A and B are shown apart, each in its own frame.
Chain A
């Protein structure tokens, strides 16, 4: 049973560029959430997708956008990259949107903006 998979694992981009990160949820899961984790901090919620729609959004600018496909996989897009966008980007999948749902993380994508 494949867990949550993310690609790529590492990425280096230049300021002002755009980046797309990808996530395939755990088998049987239908909800994907994206988090940003800066060094030494806990993950910060970016947004969540369920039934191909953005259900909830954290305190991130519109430069951060996403998409969920019919097979439940998801993409995170970041436009006009800033140095401060350098972080570990985590995808978490879960089954059915509820408060008691356990979320499982992929291995993350380490984004470096230079």
Chain B
């Protein structure tokens, strides 16, 4: 079992729809969770961080965390073609306190006009 799992996609949604990206993790001791957006050929860009169970909203983005189910998700409302990218879920290594991030392989999102 991989430490952080994501569906590689591609996930295709029409412009204006809600895109839902999911991530599961194996280490129950993990404490912090991050979503990065990566455009093709570019480096990852931090878009959301979440540390407590529940929802965290920032503009069109909502991160959801359920530690009991070891599940993190990212919702993108009113999806735009510019949101087309690979979304990486990252989890802090819960067994250490060093900020080491473990990444999933990423989900490719395609927003069609």
Could you tell me which A residues sit within 8 Å of B by CB distance?
Answer: 31, 33, 35, 40-45, 48, 50, 55-56, 58, 88, 90, 92, 94, 97-108
Known: A42-B88, A90-B44, A103-B46. A98 touches B99 (CB 8 A): yes
Chain A positions within 8 Å of B32 at CB level: 99-100
Interface size class of B (residues with CB under 8 A): 20 to 34
Query: What are 18 A-B pairs with beta-carbon distances under 8 A?
Result: A43-B44, A44-B103, A45-B101, A48-B98, A55-B98, A88-B43, A94-B99, A97-B97, A99-B32, A100-B49, A102-B46, A103-B46, A103-B99, A105-B44, A106-B43, A107-B42, A107-B43, A108-B43
Give 1 or 0 for each of B62-75: 1 = CB within 8 Å of chain A CB.
00000000000000
Known: A42-B88, A99-B32, A99-B94. A105 touches B45 (CB 8 A): yes
Q: A35 vs B100: C-alpha distance in the bound complex, in angstroms?
A: 10
Is B102's CB under 8 angstroms from A45's CB? yes
- Residue of A with least CB distance to B99: A101
- Residue of B with least CB distance to A100: B32
Q: Number of residue pairs across A and B with beta carbons under 8 Å?
A: 74
Is A31's CB under 8 angstroms from B106's CB? no
Interface SS of B by simple majority: loop
Q: How many whole Å from B44's CB to the nearest CB in chain A?
A: 5
Is A33's CB under 8 angstroms from B99's CB? yes
- Inter-chain pairs besides A42-B88, A45-B100, 14 sampled, C-beta below 8 Å: A35-B103, A41-B105, A43-B88, A44-B103, A50-B98, A58-B100, A90-B44, A99-B32, A99-B97, A102-B46, A102-B49, A104-B46, A105-B43, A107-B43
Is B104's CB under 8 angstroms from A97's CB? no
Is A99's CB under 8 angstroms from B45's CB? no
Is B1 part of the binding interface, using a Cβ–Cβ cutoff of 8 Å? no
Give 1 or 0 for each of B81-113: 1 = CB within 8 Å of chain A CB.
000000010101010111111111110000000
Is B100's CB under 8 angstroms from A48's CB? yes
Chain A positions within 8 Å of B102 at CB level: 45
Minimum-distance CB pairs A-B, first 10: A42-B103, A108-B43, A105-B43, A56-B98, A99-B31, A101-B99, A99-B92, A100-B32, A42-B105, A43-B103
